[in-house]
Structure 1
């Protein structure tokens, strides 16, 4: 009788203690926080958590800016203030540039951002939208005069819906990338060459994450996009108006890794 009582007491204790133990075990990663493995040494959370300490120290430097600084993404503006918008003065493409900067620095690429809200400055004095590249140009020129950069990215988003700007890979959605090259200047092929190298590296990480390069030249388009200022300056569109924050963040991880791999490959080829 005493032996049976001890057995039952032990079972009751175990049933009581199991829930307490389970509460102490860390829960699984929430579904809305996705991880993107670039390699075995780099696991970067792609929703809102970003690595802040670089594993690699290099002399490589990047410059980022946003000619169309109020370009926005509908899911993000809706989450911010309940309004679906493709242009927003608070939550816009500038925030994405900050995330790209974080990822570049994690990869050891020192990164500067031109700290100017181009659209806001234009709105203050009534400059029309199509003059954006003219307005940002002196800021870019000054930055290039002040420092030497290995790559300069003018970051935009496409105007297409999410079904045309999204790719799924290994169960995760990524915002697709388009590089735009202006053909109305003498050295555009050098800008094109850099874009092609970037595309190659991105495709090694996530197949179909890039689309074909878009060339613009002739009447009715800018044709330069300030790429005549530097052979390492390229315009990159990350996603479209319908991509959400997690998709954009995943792509920022891939883009930053591709920049690093491109610059490393170029440095090795010159040795």
Structure 2
């Protein structure tokens, strides 16, 4: 009887070892052929979706079955599924994860929609553009246009600058503002009157009309990246230094706003409200930073105000981790940091001006409400 028990134990141990070896062979094959790897972000994403209390009880129960013998939920924890997902970053029940690394551009569809605006679904998520550096440095002539005038406000921040506006991708522009430009990749310019820096100038003016002072970085990011021998992939690394310097030199700054332009076309990026045409706004929040919840709440508050005052202006709130974008977007530097994409490649000057006037109205209402409630 004793020999049978020993033989049974040996068979179980050998079986367990063979199973472990086979699992590692399977995982190594998948990570080799599909070019996936286990990272701290991968582990974090898996654990965030797991019930850690049950996981702890499961392992505790392997030492003392008293704590888990009547707990069916703990016994049924699919450890093989959790381990497989941690090691490969593939989700058995999500087919997208099997294709996003192999099909160019497919990872865009893995963007998380936190709050969907009108007409927003997984097929209409914002698209980031990444033209080559030589195109980013190319100068394009402007299409002449006039600016709007906004009346002054009876409220004021008394000379304090409480909003920092900057542009990680300062070269992003709009086809109607450019000459000899016809495709989305052509919508770039180093001329600040034609790119998103000019949109930032509109916001500065419109916020001032609401009594809110702002600081605006008008640096040509493409030129600075070129000087350093960097590519557009280093853009957030460069703009991070700008945000850090601004925060260090001005303690009054409350909001960090990075203005971009979407690469989607006009049918998705334009709306009409009360017979006025607007470039629509996308709110982007990075998941891979400790301020994610606070910045997501800020985006939700601004989206809700937009829906109330300008229905359809916001396309919604989208969050990205490091597998679908930068994942941080400098938002770890402030609990009130957002990235907004203003319109798409086809929006014209009037639509951009209307959008910034509306956003300044929304942001100022949010600020004065929080200011009066002693939140700042």
Q: Structure 1 residues 47 and 177 mapped into 2: Cα distance closer, same or farther (>3 Å)?
A: farther
Give, in whole Å, the separation in 1 of the partners of 2:213 and 2:302: 18
What TM-score do the two structures reach when normalised by structure 2? 0.57
Deviations 1:189-243 (A, max 9, x none): 1011111111122222210110121100142521100000111111001101110
Deviation of 1:55 (Å): 3.5
Match of 2:210 in 1: 107
> 1:250 matched to which residue of 2?
354
1:267, distance to aligned residue in structure 2 (A): 2.2
- 1:128 equivalent to 2:231? Answer yes
Give the distance between the partners of 1:241 and 1:96, measured in 2 at CA: 13
Residue ranges of structure 2 left out of the alignment (5+ in a row): 1-144
Who is 1:89 aligned against? 190
Does 63-72 or 109-118 show the bigger shift?
Answer: 109-118
Aligned equivalent of 1:5 = none
Please, what is the CA RMSD of the aligned residues? Answer: 1.8
**Conserved 8 A contact 2:181-2:187:** no
Task: Give the drift of 1:47.
Answer: 6.2
The structure where strand makes up a greater share of residues is 1
1:226-261 Cα offsets, whole Å, 9 max, x none, are: 000111111001101110000010010000011111
- Give runs of aligned pairs for residues 64-83 of structure 1, distance below 5 A: 64-78=165-179, 82-83=180-181
Q: Which has the higher contact order (CA 8 A, sep 6+)?
A: 1
**How many residues were matched structurally?**
223
- Are 2:328 and 1:224 aligned? yes
- Structure 1 unaligned regions, length at least 5: 1-45
Which of 1 and 2 has greater Rg?
2
1:181 equivalent to 2:282? Answer no
Judging changes above 3 Å, is the alpha-carbon distance between structure 1 residues 52 and 65 closer, same or farther for their aligned structure 2 residues?
farther
Structure 1 runs (4+) greater than 4 angstroms displaced:
none
Q: Distance in 1 between matches of 2:360 and 2:264?
A: 23
Deviation, 1:268, is 3.0
The 2-side partners of 1:238 and 1:125 are apart by 28
